[in-house]
Amino acid sequence: MIARILAIAAAEARIAIRNRWVAIASVLMLLFSLALTFAGSAPTGALGVDLLTVSVASMTTLSVYLVPLLALLLAFDAIAGDVERGGLALILTYPVSRSELLLGKFLAHVGALAVAIMLGFGMSGLAAWISGGADAASLFALLRLTLSAVALGATFLAVGYALSALARGPGAAAGLAIVVWVVFVALYDLGLLGALVFDGGGAFTQQVFPWLLIANPADAFRLFNLAGSDELALATGLSGATGAIPGWAAILSLAAWPVVAFGLARLALRRVEP
């Protein structure tokens, strides 16, 4: 079983490298992270926080958009494309289960995403440290950011597989992926904001809103990183929203989402007739 998963993963990793996904994603992460680290250095003086602390805040905001997008770009073709090419039918005539197949792809794609994320954030951390703008606390915040970004990416990879299995073709899967991306990173928050304004600080705002916020992996990611340290909360002004819920909730959401989404993808793959 392990041998078959690794065989699939090795082939998928090669494909991700050869079609330049890894290179493009790495360069993108690197450019944005470095730009934010140094462009973000301008307003730090007044708050008295170091360079890396501020850039972790900027990179968090960036990652909320960029990481899900990169993950969906990698995943939308994973099932639908194989079905269209006829490759899935052939693979499934071999003694490999659909779970093994999906796990193999997941392993390779999470790895590819992790490489891009670590390269981007790692270089930023290094650059900030060399220029004297980092301390132990801000380096720890960067580590949290890196790990949680991988979890966020894994979630959207699995969501992408589910869409890819449900869609009628790669084109439809790409369309669905865009819709899901916009909903999770933008419309969901707008909806909550509207509800808050309408509720005007009532029971919804107190009891339900924080949990709804935490239920969205993108928001959980934001809360986990921005509320993680007092300095960051100070830098972004997000601490108000997070006071109402315990700190473990965001971690739980980030840890549970990849597993739940993978389960959904596996269920969706069951319906596929290659």
Partner 1 sequence: MSTDALVIRNAVKRRGKVETVSDLSLTLNAGEIVALLGHNGAGKTTLIRMILGLTRINGGDISVFGAAPGDARARRRTAFLPEAVAFHKSLTGREQLRLFARLAGEPRGVIAPLLDRVGLSEAADRRIGTWSKGMRQRLGLAQVLLGKPRLALLDEPTSGLDPMSRHDFYAIVDELAAGGTAVLISSHALTELEARADRIAILRRGRLVADDSLTSLRRRARLPTRLMVTTASEQSGQVASRLGGAQINCRGVELICDPDGKMAHLGRIAELGGLVDDVDVIPPSLEDLYRHFATGREQT
Report if residue 95 touches partner 1, rule: CB under 8 A: yes
Smaller CB distance to partner 1: residue 92 or 114?
92
Smaller CB distance to partner 1: residue 80 or 227?
80
Helix, strand and coil in the chain, % to nearest 5: 80, 0, 20
Among 8-16, 131-139, 162-170, 229-237, the segment contacting partner 1 (CB under 8 A): 8-16
Report if residue 92 touches partner 1, rule: CB under 8 A: yes
CB 157 within 8 Å of CB 106 = yes
Alpha-carbon distance of 145 to 63, in angstroms, equals 9
Q: Smallest distance, Å, CB 172 to partner 1? A: 19
Residue 46 burial (CB < 10 Å; 0-12/13-18/19+)? exposed
Report if residue 90 touches partner 1, rule: CB under 8 A: yes
Which of 39, 47, 89, 215 lies at the binding interface for partner 1 (CB under 8 A)? 89
Report the phi/psi class of residue 20: left, alpha or beta, with left for phi > 0 and alpha for psi in -120 to 50. left
Smaller CB distance to partner 1: residue 89 or 197?
89
Subset of 36-75 contacting partner 1 (CB under 8 A): none
CB 145 within 8 Å of CB 121 = yes
Smaller CB distance to partner 1: residue 6 or 34?
6
CB neighbours of residue 23 within 10 Å:
14
Which of 96, 119, 123, 212 lies at the binding interface for partner 1 (CB under 8 A)? 96
CA angle, 261 as apex, 260 and 263 as ends, to 5°? 65
Alpha-carbon distance of 159 to 121, in angstroms, equals 24
Subset of 10-29 contacting partner 1 (CB under 8 A): 10-11, 14-15, 18-19
Residues that bind partner 1 (CB under 8 A): 3-4, 6-8, 10-11, 14-15, 18-19, 85-87, 89-96, 273-274
